[in-house]
Amino acid sequence: GVGDLPLRFHPGPERWHENYPMAKGDKQSPIEINSKDVRHDSSLAPWHASYDPGAAKTILNNGRTCRVVFDDSFDRSVLRGGPLTGAYRLRQLHLHWGSSDDHGSEHVIDGVKYAAELHMVHWNPKHGNFAGALKQPDGVAVVGIFLKVGKTPKPEMKRILEEIDNIKTKGKEAPFQHFDPSILFPKSRDYWTYHGSFTTPPCEECITWILLREPIEVSPDQMAKLRSLSKNGENEAMNPLVDNWRPPQPVKGRVVRASFK
């Protein structure tokens, strides 16, 4: 499959379905959310994250994103509540961003594209392991946080961004310990939720998306730092890692629910 090809041979999102038919499925992500089509659901519970700072392990550049990996060998850092049944284990977080501040997020809200979108990926341990969870409709829960360029940048992004210089090129990895990712949450716990997919091949339809309404703010310098990452390996021609987002996919009758009015 395409998964075995070097990165430079990967086709764009419009051709993913040729090798991964699921990419044209009925529950693909991301989507555009329009407030007028959202259904407020008063039965939606609040969500809670209980994260152990000791679960953070490493930060890496895989040529497509910058990812922080957590120990998920037991119920150490978990997400509960909201639309979920049971506890989901935090496995990794990563980001999607653009080549300029006016785009970069995957989900689009009332026509608004944010500069970046952070994804916290959790899986349901009732399916045994992560690979097993990917095959189940209730296998994975991703919390999405929008990053907006503003005047009150979030100092909490500093830990991740100060590590960027150590993982400039594809394949680089650095230790990343004692980090509580809940510092990245905005103040408001309001969210939208819908059932969708991974935004990269094979685009499995196993994700309960929990998208936080309130964006967090980052500075132009912080965004520039993210864009200083490279798709290329250390001794290869410079190829900036930007625009690693998939465009919105057809909603196909799905209803997005909101925890707020």
Q: Which of 10, 48, 57, 64 binds ligand SG7 (CB under 6 A)?
A: 64
Number of residues that bind ligand SG7 (CB under 6 A): 12
- Strands 140-149 and 173-175 turn out to be unpaired
Q: 167 — phi, psi (to 5°)?
A: -130, 40
The interface mask with ligand SG7, positions 105-124, x = CB under 6 A, is --------------x-x---
Of 96 and 172, CB closest to Zn ion: 96
Find the binding residues for Zn ion in span 119-138 (CB under 5 A). Answer: 119
Which of the listed partners (ligand SG7, Zn ion, none) does 64 bind, with a CB threshold of 5 to 8 Å by partner kind? Answer: ligand SG7
Find the binding residues for ligand SG7 in span 182-211 (CB under 6 A). Answer: 198-200
Question: Nearest approach, Cβ of 64 to ligand SG7 (angstroms)?
Answer: 5
Q: How far apart are CA 244 and CA 85, in angstroms?
A: 31
Do residues 192 and 258 lie in contact, with contact meaning Cβ atoms separated by under 8 Å?
yes
**Closest to 88 in 3D by CA, of 48, 59, 60, 57:** 48
Q: How far apart are CA 53 and CA 153, in angstroms?
A: 22
Q: How far apart are CA 60 and CA 76, in angstroms?
A: 21
The interface mask with Zn ion, positions 85-124, x = CB under 5 A, is ----------------------------------x-----
Is residue 65 within the footprint of ligand SG7 (CB under 6 A)? yes
Tokens found for residue 54:
């000791």
Q: Report CA torsion sign: 103, 105, 108, 112.
A: negative
Of 117 and 138, CB closest to Zn ion: 117
Tokens found for residue 248:
């919105």
Q: How far apart are CA 84 and CA 195, in angstroms?
A: 11
Q: Which of 142, 147, 210, 211 binds ligand SG7 (CB under 6 A)?
A: 142
Question: Nearest approach, Cβ of 62 to ligand SG7 (angstroms)?
Answer: 6
Q: Which residues bind ligand SG7 (CB under 6 A)?
A: 62, 64-65, 67, 92, 94, 119, 121, 142, 198-200
